[in-house]
Amino acid sequence: MKLWIKYLIASVLGLAIGLFTPIGGPLLDTLSTVAVNMVRVMLVPLLLFSIPVAVHELHGDRKLLRTLTRTTIYSLLALLIFTLLGSGGAILFSTTRIPLGNESGSLPELPTIARLLETAFPANIFGVIASSDYLLPVLLLGLVLGLAFSSEKNAAKPVLQLSDSLSRLSWQINSFILELFPLPLVLLSAARIGSIKAIPDLTPYARLFSLLGIEVAIALIVLLPLVIFIATKGKNPLRILYALIAPAITAVFTANYYAPAGILARHLKESLGVRRRVGSVALPLAMMIGRPGTALVSASSFIIILNSYSSLGLGPNAFLWILGMVPLSVLLSTAAPAAGPAACTAFLCASYGKGFESGYLLILPIALPLQAIATFLDVLILGTVTYLTAVGEHEAMHKEVRHYI
């Protein structure tokens, strides 16, 4: 059975349990957290051991700089395009508003740029291993080690072989966990639908969800297929999107930016034929640069909040401010994988000021479904960026659809 079918069956079963039974409570919430931790537990070890080997091999073939540059350009373009889509959609549907109420609550704050720099360069190198919520230190350490392997080939050969062996071992452990994940996915999806059922009234948010549905449809039906078709010179884009179904399902129910990364890496390699040397470098780099799906949802949500408080609309200066600040908020959120559009919107409201500092409270009740939508798009775009980078560097081997895992 294909992996995505297992995940689909597990999620449908969990949704049915959550919809038609009163299951819930602290125990289920705890098990849900365990499920999310389980699916992402091997991400840091996998990257820590794979990146140096990949950097060494790419540097030897003189492809390292090209791979990093191509991934960076693709990621920044995706971030800009989806920020424009989210902003443009909200402006076109400017009549969409959320009724003002007496909401209260709080969200975890996004880390500051200073905090990110401190985390990226820890005083103790072993602190990198503990940086499970920020992958940039792991990426930087991997780059340094990989370049060291290339400059001191004889001395580094035993360590290189050890890193390669640990990389392959981590891959096998990660694959084993992903095969078992459908079981906890049942509980996770039941818990998620239970949390959504607990929202008192979704009616005020119907038009916002309709707007996001239209934007997601444009992304899936128009933007991503068109980009894939052009970049791959006529290849069927549905073949690539089909390979990303299992990571997309995982993204929806975990609502955690890092959780689908392990299964995404596996499908990129075993379904789409992306070689380890590119996937191990391009995927974490793309994850660090931004979250395009989160940018789309955050931009739309922020503009809808402004429209809900005022009917004056946005001027050119405000629109340019949004185009600059939304990517910044998303960049900060890459160090907070459990945070999503609500946290980014809170950052935007606080930065915008003018009495809108608490505007994010309007969307606080629907933070979970907004994050699920955003993470769903994030994963699809990350997979696309990584695959197109591999294609551009001629590091992707064609595989028939019937051979997809």
**pTM score, two decimals?**
0.91
For residue 81, the model assigns a pLDDT of 94
For residue 132, the model assigns a pLDDT of 66
Task: List, for residues 87-124, the tens digit of each pLDDT value.
Answer: 998 888 866 677 766 665 666 678 778 888 877 777 77
Whether pLDDT at 380 is above 90: yes
The tokens describing 380, both together, are 């699809």
Q: Work out the burial of residue 81: count CB atoms within 10 Å of its CB; fewer than 13 is exposed, 13-18 middle, 19 or more buried.
A: middle
Instruction: Specify the range with the lowest mean pLDDT, choosing from 32-41, 150-159, 281-290, 370-379.
Output: 150-159
Instruction: Specify the range with the lowest mean pLDDT, choosing from 169-178, 214-223, 351-360.
Output: 351-360
Q: What is the mean pLDDT of residues 288-295?
A: 90
Strand partners, 396: 274
pLDDT band at 200 (very low <50, low <70, confident <90, very high): confident
Give the whole-angstrom CA distance, residue 233 versus residue 16: 42
For residue 106, the model assigns a pLDDT of 65
Residues ≥6 apart with Cβ < 8 Å to 27:
none
Q: Which of 132-141, 192-201, 259-268, 308-317 has the highest mean pLDDT?
A: 259-268
Whether pLDDT at 309 is above 90: no
Task: List, for residues 30-84, the tens digit of each pLDDT value.
Answer: 888 888 888 988 898 999 999 999 999 999 889 999 999 999 999 999 999 999 9
Percentage of the chain exceeding pLDDT 90: 47
Whether pLDDT at 198 is above 90: no
For residue 275, the model assigns a pLDDT of 93
Q: Which amino acid is at 65?
A: L
Assess contact for 64 and 55: CB atoms under 8 A.
yes
For residue 113, the model assigns a pLDDT of 82
Whether pLDDT at 212 is above 90: yes
For residue 217, the model assigns a pLDDT of 95
Q: 54 or 315, which is more confident?
A: 54
Assess contact for 146 and 51: CB atoms under 8 A.
yes
pLDDT band at 204 (very low <50, low <70, confident <90, very high): confident
Task: List, for residues 323-347, the tens digit of each pLDDT value.
Answer: 899 999 999 888 888 888 988 998 8
Reduced to 3 states, what is the DSSP secondary structure of residue 351? helix
The residue with tokens 């470098």 is 281
pLDDT band at 315 (very low <50, low <70, confident <90, very high): confident
Assess contact for 335 and 134: CB atoms under 8 A.
yes
Give the whole-angstrom CA distance, residue 178 versus residue 171: 11
Domains of the chain are: 3-403 (1.10.3860.10)
Whether pLDDT at 261 is above 70: yes
Q: Name the nearest CA neighbour of 90 among 374, 308, 265, 382.
A: 308
Assess contact for 273 and 398: CB atoms under 8 A.
yes
Half-sphere exposure of 190 (CA within 13 A, CB side): 26
Q: Is 214 left (phi over 0), alpha (psi -120 to 50) or beta?
A: alpha
Give the whole-angstrom CA distance, residue 284 versus residue 51: 9
For residue 135, the model assigns a pLDDT of 85
